[in-house]
């Protein structure tokens, strides 16, 4: 009787379990399967549409992880998609950290606990508007390193790191009873280069690290995925809100007619950069895109579903050009920076519920914490910026200056000091090159700023008296995370030239014997700066520094150079709390720099905006006294005060208005091509009849394909004599007849931001002709252009008839 019952139970449980599920005998874990089927993914043998929410664990304080996961679940998502950020896990070569906020295995276990799956994107490069795209800065200590290539040192480090990731996450793949269903190989390599051997090598490393059974995929754009597509990987497409979805999958459908379709990054909004309006994308278009994909059984990951915050120094910078990202990574996502549902969330939730097998979605979880105001408080303690220095080196008999990397520093600022020659007339000082924000002083007197964001390189100096010294202060911002410029050294990367022009004679001088001073972005160093205020500086002095030089620096310090305007430096203040809560620290009284609260680094601020407040999570606050330290490299305008407000300010620009730039006169002799573009999506080429030389590239749109008033362009390239794309690193916009910033920042620089989903658009009410003038930075020989209209269905705003001009004379 007993035996019969047991057999019956066994039989029953066997029948109940899907044929694809089995129990791992060694540890009794229920194991599912995830596989690629005909036109669909298969979970335990059944068709499965991946509805993933992209969320980044380091952008959320650990205390809030589970709340954010539950929010995604309440939105109808079944999966969380994460990147692995190499540079937070290996801050120094061979020192690994997977604890606390870096405990990604725990994050994945929380996802599983909440009945969801995980997609892991372990890089090594991740982009993500994250410092250096996730690569550790110390790689740059090998000067000739080729990043994201088969450089032996790079590949060795990747292998070591991925092995560590494997130790954390391989036990959590679905084959081992965990939540991880898919793992990505590299990231959008097509927008970096064409190199299948490299991508294959990364695939092999990922496999070897313990991801040999899990489904592997690679993500790219529909315009470039074939460049590096490997036969044995799943191919997924990335595109944004508004894109023409059928068009995005057209080529994939042709090449792999039976493959499941997935948009591995469907951009819900966009990231913000300093000095431009906050980006938004219409909710209705995002929801319509998701609706269309779900109705067609297309899997997706919504990037971002919750963006969070790039705390500390982790915000990266976009390129071409240098466009550092703000601290907030709100992204106009459905779940906002501080974890709350937005109108987009509610609208999307309604649509997601339609595809939930007739079931109601789980309730939206309560916020784990309330929001508080903190009354204005003063940061009255001040310490000189130079009190933050902890290391000095001299470049004897050389005009070379040392970068952050040479000084073994990831993030912070440098001060460079050298003797100047006497000059009788004005001269031009050029920093070769300034990375990123420099303030120039002569004998402690402020001369001006050279800002890489504005593509500035030089400044005019007044006549220089005998025995003068130059002091250059350089603050580094995030390292570039996109495109070829990710090899982004900080500080002054080479040298400084001073050019005088005496009538016909031009003389160039390079100062030598630089004193290179390091000021780290580091909380304990900031604390020391206050201890140091009244003491002799306890320097870690390079042996080569002479006593007189040391005294020179000391005297500079006591003369308080850098203090003569607005008082840059460290500021400290306190506030008391009866109850903790999330708040938004208003930084508008300050200039530019970093904030630490109770030792947590909140991130960067800059009065130019658009972000004016920093998210301060309540879980980092305490009842009683809380400490705030601000490192301001410019200095506050008035009294150094802060307060906590109950709403973020992400969209307040404080730029000096540039005087209205006049429309340049387009002379007939500059004209190099006229014609008409074709209608519809996709890249188009125009070849000029003759090779034309000039610094300015002008596109004049005469009318649109739809016969309406608006013009738009998504991307634009100039081609060299061989028809190859010219670098756009030094491009700036000289003139655009109008820019639509009413919703989503459609500024003219979007034509060269290397992003196919972003575009320049003219405002309503302004009619054709529309003119765009690109300053290519120097004179180039141009044989033609490549042009990409908007990615949306019907390519709205496409130009029909055009004139193209090339000239040096605007």
Coil, strand, or helix at residue 599? coil
- Residue 403 CB contacts under 8 Å (≥ 6 apart), including other chains: 435, 489, 490, 491, 492, 493
With binding defined as CB under 5 A, does residue 792 bind Ca ion?
no
> Stretches 91-99, 347-355, 452-460, 754-762: which one binds Ca ion (CB under 5 A)?
754-762
Q: How far is the CB of 757 from Ca ion (least distance, A)?
A: 7
Task: Pick the closer one to ligand GLA by CB: 127 or 170.
Answer: 127
How is residue 95 annotated by DSSP?
A: B
Nearest distance from residue 323's CB to Ca ion, in Å?
A: 12
Q: What is the DSSP letter of 631?
A: E
List the one residue from 238, 283, 703, 758 that touches Ca ion (CB under 5 A): 758
Q: Which of residues 529-568 bind Ca ion (CB under 5 A)?
A: none
- The residues, any chain, with a CB within 8 Å of residue 717's CB and separated by 6 or more, are 725, 726, 728, 785, 786, 787
CB of 535 to ligand GLA, least distance (A): 45
Residue 89 or 273 with smaller CB distance to ligand GLA: 273
> How many amino acids of this chain bind Ca ion (CB under 5 A)?
6
Phi then psi for 642, rounded to 5 degrees?
A: -140, 160
Please choose which of Ca ion, ligand GLA, none residue 129 contacts, taking the beta carbon within 5 to 8 angstroms, the exact cut-off set by kind. ligand GLA
- Our CB check for ligand GLA shows the closer of 753 and 792 to be 753
Among 405, 495, 753, 792, binds Ca ion (CB under 5 A): 753
What is the rounded distance in angstroms from the CA atom of residue 557 to the CA atom of residue 549?
12
Q: Give dist(CA 707, CA 754) in Å, integer.
A: 28
Q: How far is the CB of 126 from ligand GLA (least distance, A)?
A: 6
- Residue 182 interacting partner from ligand GLA, Ca ion, none (CB closer than 5 to 8 Å by kind): none
Q: Which of Ca ion, ligand GLA, none does residue 753 bind to, with CB < 5 to 8 Å depending on kind?
A: Ca ion
Distance CA 321, CA 775 (A): 12
Instruction: Name the nearest CA neighbour of 74 among 313, 316, 365, 376.
Output: 365
How far apart, in whole angstroms, are the C-alpha atoms of residue 704 and residue 602? Answer: 46
- 161 vs 303, beta carbon nearer ligand GLA: 303
Q: Is residue 610 a contact partner of residue 745, using CB atoms and an 8 Å limit?
A: no
Helices (H) and strands (E) in the chain, counts: 11, 42
- Does 790 help bind Ca ion (rule: CB under 5 A)? no
Sheet holding 569-577, edge to edge: 381-383, 569-577, 624-632, 592-597, 600-606
| Partner whose footprint covers residue 750, from ligand GLA, Ca ion, none (CB < 5 to 8 Å by kind) | Ca ion
For the purposes of burial, counting CB atoms within 10 Å of the CB of 509, is it exposed (0-12), middle (13-18) or buried (19 or more)? middle
Residue least distant from Ca ion (Cβ)? 758
Q: Which is nearer to Ca ion, 582 or 715 (CB)?
A: 715
Q: Can residue 755 be called a binding residue for Ca ion (CB under 5 A)?
A: yes
SS3 756: coil
Q: Which residues bind ligand GLA (CB under 6 A)?
A: 126-129, 187-188, 238, 265, 271
Of residues 607 through 646, those in contact with Ca ion by CB under 5 A are none
> Which lies closer to Ca ion via its Cβ, residue 604 or residue 750?
750
CA-CA distance, 23 to 412, in Å (whole number)? 52
Stretch that binds Ca ion, among 220-228, 331-339, 616-624, 745-753 (CB under 5 A): 745-753
Residue 127 partner contact from ligand GLA, Ca ion, none using kind-dependent CB cut-offs of 5 to 8 Å:
ligand GLA
Tokens of 554: 């000391």
Residue 270 Cβ, how far from ligand GLA at the closest point, in Å? 7
- 271 contact, one of ligand GLA, Ca ion, none, CB 5-8 Å limit per kind: ligand GLA
State the minimum distance, in angstroms, from the CB of residue 378 to Ca ion: 44
CB of 375 to ligand GLA, least distance (A): 36
Q: Judge whether 24 and 177 are in contact, CB under 8 Å.
A: yes
Q: Which is nearer to ligand GLA, 162 or 265 (CB)?
A: 265
The residue among 270 and 473 lying less far from Ca ion, judged by its C-beta, is: 270
DSSP string, 217-262: EEEE-TTTGGGT--TTSEEEEEEETTB-HHHHHHHHHHH-TTSPPE
Report how far residue 388's alpha carbon sits from residue 391's, in angstroms, rounded to the nearest whole number: 10
Q: Which does 265 bind (CB under 5 to 8 A by kind): Ca ion, ligand GLA, none?
A: ligand GLA
Q: Using an 8 Å Cβ cutoff, are 139 and 154 in contact? A: yes
Q: Which parts of 578-619 are beta strand (E)? A: 583-586, 592-597, 600-606, 613-616
As a three-state string, the secondary structure of 477-541 is CCCECCCHHHCCCCEEEEEEEEEEEECCEEEEECCCCEEEEEEECCHHHHHHHHHHCCCCCCCCE
SS (H, E, C) 5-23: HHHHHHHHHHHHCCCCCEE
Minimum CB–partner distance for residue 756 and Ca ion (Å): 6
- Which residue lies nearer to ligand GLA by CB, 583 or 745? 745
**Residue 583: beta bridge partners?**
616
- The residue with its CB nearest to ligand GLA is 127
Nearer to ligand GLA, 175 or 184 (CB): 184
Least Å distance, CB 128 to ligand GLA, is 4
Q: Which does 758 bind (CB under 5 to 8 A by kind): ligand GLA, Ca ion, none?
A: Ca ion
Work out what residue 90 binds among ligand GLA, Ca ion, none; the CB cut-off runs from 5 to 8 Å by kind. Answer: none
Give the CA angle between residues 708, 714, 718 to the nearest 5°.
Answer: 115
Rounded Cα–Cα distance for residues 749 and 727 (Å): 15
Catalytic residue among 90, 265, 337, 700: 265
- Residues 29 to 58 in contact with Ca ion, rule: CB under 5 A: none
**Are the C-beta atoms of 141 and 96 separated by less than 8 Å?**
no
Strand partners, 597: 600, 628
Q: Is 678 among the residues known to form the active site?
A: no
Query: Least Å distance between CB 125 and ligand GLA?
Result: 9
Catalytic residue among 131, 186, 188, 700: 188
Q: CA nearest 468: which of 377, 586, 556, 370?
A: 556
What is the C-alpha separation between 408 and 518, in angstroms, rounded?
A: 9
Q: What does 238 bind: Ca ion, ligand GLA, none (CB cut-off 5 to 8 Å by kind)? A: ligand GLA
Could you say whether residue 750 binds Ca ion (CB under 5 A)? Answer: yes
Whole-angstrom CA distances from 221 to 483, 534, 555, 682, 789 are 14, 57, 57, 12, 15
d(CA 464, CA 507): 15
Nearer to ligand GLA, 238 or 328 (CB): 238
Q: Closest approach of Cβ 712 to Ca ion, in Å?
A: 10
- For residue 785, the minimal CB distance to Ca ion (Å) is 15
Given Ca ion, ligand GLA, none, residue 205, with its beta carbon under 5 to 8 Å by kind, binds none
Write the binding mask 713 to 732 for Ca ion: x where contact by CB under 5 A, - elsewhere. Answer: -xx-----------------
Contact 309, 603 (CB under 8 A): yes
Phi, psi of 127 (to 5 degrees): 65, -105
Q: Does 681 bind Ca ion (CB under 5 A)?
A: no
In this structure, the strands spanning 641-645 and 374-378 are: antiparallel
User: Between residues 237 and 628, which has the closer beta carbon with respect to ligand GLA?
Assistant: 237
Contact partner, 187, from ligand GLA, Ca ion, none, Cβ < 5-8 Å per class = ligand GLA
Least distance between ligand GLA and beta carbon 271 (Å): 5
Check if 164 is active-site. no
Nearer to Ca ion, 131 or 715 (CB): 715
Stretch that binds Ca ion, among 69-77, 287-295, 711-719, 770-778 (CB under 5 A): 711-719
Choose among ligand GLA, Ca ion, none what residue 323 binds, the Cβ cut-off being 5 to 8 Å by kind.
none
Q: What residues line the site for Ca ion (CB under 5 A)? A: 714-715, 750, 753, 755, 758
Active centre residues (catalytic): 188, 265
């Amino acid at each position: 009787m007993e035996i019969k019952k047991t057999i019956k139970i066994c039989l029953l449980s066997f029948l109940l379990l899907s044929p694809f599920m089995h129990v791992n005998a060694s540890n009794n874990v229920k194991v599912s399967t995830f596989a690629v089927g005909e036109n669909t993914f298969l979970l335990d043998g059944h068709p499965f549409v991946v509805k993933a929410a992209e969320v980044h664990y380091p952008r959320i304080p650990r205390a809030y992880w589970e709340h954010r996961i539950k929010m995604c679940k309440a939105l109808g998502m079944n999966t969380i998609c994460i990147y692995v950020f190499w540079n937070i896990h290996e801050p120094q070569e061979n020192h690994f950290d997977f604890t606390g906020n870096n405990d990604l295995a725990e994050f994945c276990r929380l996802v599983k606990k909440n009945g969801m799956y995980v997609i892991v994107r372990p890089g090594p490069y991740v982009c993500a508007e994250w410092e250096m795209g996730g690569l550790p800065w110390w790689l740059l200590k090998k000067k000739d390193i080729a990043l994201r290539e088969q450089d032996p040192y790079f590949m060795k480090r990747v292998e070591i790191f991925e092995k560590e990731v494997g130790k954390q996450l391989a036990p959590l793949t679905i084959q081992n009873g965990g939540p991880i269903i898919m793992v990505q190989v590299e990231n959008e390599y097509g927008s970096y280069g064409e190199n299948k051997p490299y991508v294959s090598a990364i695939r092999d490393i990922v496999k070897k690290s313990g991801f040999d059974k899990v489904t592997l995929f690679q993500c790219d754009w529909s315009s470039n995925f074939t460049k590096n597509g490997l036969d044995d990987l799943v191919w997924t497409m990335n595109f944004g809100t508004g894109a023409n979805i059928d068009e995005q999958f057209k080529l994939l459908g042709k090449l792999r007619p039976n493959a499941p379709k997935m948009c591995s990054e469907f951009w819900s909004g966009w990231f913000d950069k300093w000095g431009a309006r906050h980006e938004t994308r219409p909710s209705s278009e995002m929801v319509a895109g998701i609706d269309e994909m779900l109705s067609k059984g297309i899997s997706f990951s919504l990037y971002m579903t919750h963006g969070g915050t790039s705390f500390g120094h982790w915000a990266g910078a976009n390129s071409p050009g240098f466009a550092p990202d703000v601290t907030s990574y709100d992204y106009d996502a459905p779940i906002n920076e501080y974890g709350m549902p937005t109108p987009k969330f509610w609208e999307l939730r309604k649509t997601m519920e339609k595809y939930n097998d007739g079931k109601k979605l789980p309730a939206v979880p309560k916020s784990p914490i309330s929001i508080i105001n903190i009354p204005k408080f003063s940061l009255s303690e001040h310490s000189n910026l130079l009190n933050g220095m902890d290391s000095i080196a001299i470049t004897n008999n050389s005009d070379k200056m040392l970068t952050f990397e040479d000084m073994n520093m990831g993030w912070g600022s440098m001060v460079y000091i050298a003797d100047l020659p006497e000059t009788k007339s004005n001269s031009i000082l050029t920093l070769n090159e300034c990375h990123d924000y420099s303030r120039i002083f002569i004998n402690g007197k402020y001369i001006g700023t050279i800002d890489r964001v504005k593509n500035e390189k030089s400044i005019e100096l007044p006549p220089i008296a005998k025995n003068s010294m130059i002091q250059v202060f350089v603050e580094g911002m995030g390292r570039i995370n996109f495109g070829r410029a990710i090899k982004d050294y900080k500080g002054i990367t080479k040298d400084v030239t001073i050019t005088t022009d005496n009538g016909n004679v031009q003389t160039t001088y390079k100062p030598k014997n630089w004193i290179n001073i390091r000021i780290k972005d580091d909380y304990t160093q900031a604390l020391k700066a206050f201890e140091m205020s009244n003491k002799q500086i306890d320097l870690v002095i390079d042996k080569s520094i002479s006593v007189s030089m040391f005294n020179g620096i000391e005297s500079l310090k006591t003369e308080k150079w850098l203090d003569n305007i607005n008082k840059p430096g460290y500021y400290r203040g306190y506030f008391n709390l009866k109850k903790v809560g999330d708040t938004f620290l208003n930084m508008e009284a300050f200039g530019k720099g970093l904030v630490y609260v109770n030792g947590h680094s909140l991130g960067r601020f800059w009065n130019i905006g658009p972000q004016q407040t920093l998210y301060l999570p309540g879980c980092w606050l305490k009842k009683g006294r809380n400490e705030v330290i601000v490192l301001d490299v410019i200095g506050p305008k008035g009294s150094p005060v802060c307060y906590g407000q109950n709403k973020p300010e992400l969209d307040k620009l404080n730029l000096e208005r540039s005087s209205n730039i006049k429309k340049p006169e387009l002379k007939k002799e500059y004209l190099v091509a006229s014609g008409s573009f074709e209608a519809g999506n996709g890249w188009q080429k125009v070849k000029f009849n003759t090779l034309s030389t000039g610094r300015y590239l002008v596109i004049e749109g005469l009318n649109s394909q739809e016969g309406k008033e608006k013009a738009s362009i998504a991307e634009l390239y100039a081609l060299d004599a061989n028809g190859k794309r010219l670098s756009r690193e030094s491009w700036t916009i000289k003139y655009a007849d109008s820019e639509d910033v009413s919703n989503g920042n459609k500024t003219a620089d979007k034509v060269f931001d290397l992003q196919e989903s972003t575009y320049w658009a003219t405002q309503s009410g302004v009619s054709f002709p529309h003119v765009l003038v690109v300053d290519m930075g120097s004179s180039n020989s141009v044989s033609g252009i490549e042009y990409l209209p908007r990615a949306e269905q019907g390519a709205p705003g496409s130009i029909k008839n055009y004139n193209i001009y090339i000239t040096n004379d605007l």
